[in-house]
Structure 1
Amino acid sequence: MRRLATYLLCACCACALCTIIVVLSCSCEQSPPPIRYRASPRIQNSADERRASLPKTYLMIVIMTRANDSAVRAVIRDTWLKLSSKGVAVFRHIFPVGIANLSKRSLELLDEEQNLNGDLLLLDALIDDYANLARKTLMAIDAVCHMYNFDFLLKEIKKLLEQKVVKEKIKKLYLGGGYVLSHKLADFISRNKDLLKLYRYLDLYSSMLTAGRLCVKEYRTRGSYVYDWSVPPSMCCVRQNTSIWREGNLKMPPTPKRRLKNFASIRCSLKSDVGRGREQK
């Protein structure tokens, strides 16, 4: 028993000695405060101030072409883009091009075109093919939101047609179709680009971006019917519930009586007997 007490006493002394050594070896100087990230004035500015500092234009035109479409871009510049004499305060244009897998010669040709016209948007991290068309659109929208202060964005796809002129000449004219996005929607796409799901088909992707709850208010003007199973089939589908309609100038659209009657007989016949479910014409 005495031997055990001796061992415990020695252990306590050793622990106390180690504690004293550690305390004395520590410096009494206070540690320096942590280095805080100091944002640049551009980052500290609000979104409106940042947008105001960018070059201003009313309509930003984004025209989708590929690296080997230099002739197409030349025709677009000489025809479609010259239909208006307005300056850069009204509209600007840009050609996004993916350059991830291009040869050295192709890059040199693009550099020459860029030095001559200055309207190319070279996307380093994009392989420009049809499978990446949705990603290219997303990257182009994000880029122009950080480059220009615009009110609307017109996204165009190339469609080069040959039209015969009276003087036995063939004049090429760009007649591509597209869609228009407001700056608010384009900025929403830019800020949420990492969260948006990419689809293979561009029309589906564009519809997905502009659908759902992106609008501040959304209304549906379709008929809603409350079925009453306690009345004859011809009376079961008369709409009585008006709670889904917004109070104001919106009115319930008229429902053709014939269509309502046929729909009522078909719907109510599912529950009623065969003899009762058929309505006399």
Structure 2
Amino acid sequence: MNRRHIGTFLKVLPIVGFFVILLYLSQCNMSDNCRPCRETRDKPNGVQNHESHKEPSATSDYNKIKTFLVVMIMTGPHNTDRRTAIRQTWLSSYPEDILPRFVIGVAGLGDGERDVLQAEQMQYDDLLLLEELIDSYKSLTRKLLLMYSWLDQNVDFTFVLKADDDTFARLDILSEELRSMQPDRLCWGFFDGRAKAKKTTKWAEPDWKLCDHYLPYALGGGYVLSSDLVHYVARNMEYLKIYNNEDVSLGAWLASVDVNRIHDTRFDTEYRSRGCNNAYIVTHKQAPELMYEKHKQLVTHDRLCEQEVQVRKSYNYDWNKPPSQCCVREMGIP
């Protein structure tokens, strides 16, 4: 090759190299075989993927709220006095790694009602407003599903306490004890296994065909679930049978799952309170005035009750017996 040819070659070499690089980059963007380029493209700021990765959720893990315990309180659009009582009593102070949310269905509400809720949200920033749900007794199970679906998609958490707006809870004790519990497959509350399936009244379950009794379930005045069980329910919600009672529904959904069910008589969560006991950590059926009274006792005397009283028998759940024989009520059990 003479000098003239060598000079020409050296002049065109950078141009040829440039087009070769462009061709490589175009193939890199189009092909799955270019691992370094694909990995850099899939992650923000050039962060590399790992060999195995989780299925992406609706909300990126980077954007999820991170907390230890979530408190989800099911409430109605007009139950402002109950929410106020809770905020001023058992939610008046709590550890930083607890996230409270009052859950309300707002579909079908008028502009004035929505304005009131928006003002409340602006003031407290603790409402979860479900736009697709008309809030009613008949929609409670769907409300539970939507609530857990939102929780699974938007919060990185370990446990959730589900409660009602007439529930009083000791978050200090719950949080402390949960930190020593295994953070998987946990359902902690007060269980019922003897409840007969109802065919009449407000609580009727006309579609219940599994048994003449409901399957064992934690009473919904207050119970704790670990995040993996919430994830299981949220990811399978389109396949789950919806019954009128959300507690009965959850019991049926988890019946075949390997769950660590802990029956604890300190959860006073039946349809009627068993009384007042200083050992209670969750108490259901509490009007606002009772919440203020309990909170005052805790602040001034470090106990729930001015005087302990038991108005109904309680029971320890015997998991070694069939559900029809599980729950023998006795006095003296909290």
Contact in 2 for aligned 1:61/1:155 (Cα 8 Å): yes
Structure (1 or 2) with the larger CA radius of gyration: 1
Among residues 109, 120, 132, which one is paired with 1:113 in the alignment?
A: 120
- Note the C-alpha offset of 1:55: 1.8
Q: Runs of at least 4 residues of structure 1 off by over 6 A?
A: none
Paired with 2:138 and 2:112, the residues of 1 have a C-alpha distance of: 24
Report the CA distance between 1:86 and its aligned residue: 1.3
What are structure 1's unaligned runs of at least 5 residues? 1-34, 162-175, 219-252, 254-281
1: CA distance, partners of 2:94 / 2:260:
37
Deviates more, 1:50-59 or 1:91-100: 50-59
Structure 2 match to 1:192: 236
Give the structure 1 partner of residue 248 of structure 2: 204
What is the percentage of aligned positions where both structures have the same residue?
A: 33
Counterparts of 1:57 and 1:209, CA distance in 2: 26
**Pair 1:56 & 2:66 matched:** yes
Q: Is the contact between residue 52 and residue 149 of structure 1 (CA under 8 Å) also seen in structure 2?
A: no
Q: CA shift at 1:151, angstroms?
A: 0.2
Aligned to 1:80, the other structure's residue is in SS state coil
Could you tell me how far 1:148 is from its partner in structure 2? 1.0
Q: The residue matched to 2:134 in structure 1 has which SS?
A: coil
Q: Is the 8 A contact 2:167 2:222 kept in 1?
A: no
Partner of 1:145: 152
Answering whether residue 89 of structure 2 is matched by residue 46 of structure 1, we say no
Q: What is the TM-score of this pair, normalised by structure 2?
A: 0.44
Q: Distance in 1 between matches of 2:260 and 2:118?
A: 46
- State whether residues 72 and 160 of structure 1, in contact with CA within 8 Å, keep that contact through their aligned partners in structure 2: no
**TM-superposed deviation, 1:40:** 7.6
Contact 1:141 1:186 (8 Å CA) reproduced: yes
Q: CA deviation at 1:209?
A: 2.4
Q: Residues 216 and 51 of structure 1: is their aligned pair in 2 closer, same or farther, counting only changes over 3 Å?
A: farther
Q: How many residues align?
A: 165
Residue 56 of structure 1: CA displacement? 1.3
Q: State the SS of the aligned residue for 1:141.
A: helix
Kept in 2: contact 1:61–1:92 (CA 8 A):
yes
Relative to structure 1, the CA distance from residue 216 to residue 108 in structure 2 (aligned partners, 3 Å threshold; closer, same or farther) is closer
- Tell me the equivalent position of 1:232: none
Amino acid across the alignment from 2:90: W
Distance 1:198 1:55 in 2: 29
Cα shift at 1:47: 4.8
- Taking only aligned residues, the RMSD between alpha carbons, in angstroms, comes to 3.2
